[in-house]
Amino acid sequence: MPRTLLLVVLSFALLLELGLTGGAFFAREFTLHQFGVTQTPDTAFLGYIVGWLLLFVSLVCGLALWQVKQKTPGYATLCYLLGFWWIGIGIGIYLAFGKPDNLLLDSLKGLLIVVLTNRTRASRG
């Protein structure tokens, strides 16, 4: 059961990251506007860089999802990396910018991944 829930959370996270990645590349002005940023040449450049970062995180999430699905022994490393990454992002954005929605979405997603990875590992042995 924990493995199934981990697969669901990773799938949700991957879809969310791919959506943000697509927005950063193909609807940059709309995406920046959602975060309260007006598009200038500098913010457009930053949005492009963030798009590549989001693509990298999406690829890592996809790889973690595939490893959990295939029951690859090293899946936990990527899952913990992603989980702590999102916990840190959620807390950091909340502390720096006071946005509780990021704290809830990112940190909760990260915490679920960490806990479910731990439970999946415990149930196997």
pLDDT of residue 17: 94
Q: Are 86 and 110 in contact (CB under 8 A)?
A: yes
Q: What is the pLDDT of residues 67-108, one digit of tens each?
A: 999 999 899 999 999 999 999 999 998 999 888 888 888 999
Does the pLDDT of residue 43 top 70, yes or no?
yes
Amino acid at 92: G
Calculate the CA dihedral of residues 103, 106, 107, 111 and round it to 10 degrees: 160
Does the pLDDT of residue 125 top 50, yes or no?
no
Domain ranges of the chain: 2-120
Q: What is the pLDDT of residues 7-42, one digit of tens each?
A: 999 999 999 999 999 999 999 888 888 778 888 988
Please give the span between the terminal C-alpha atoms of the chain, in angstroms, as a whole number.
14
pLDDT of residue 36: 80
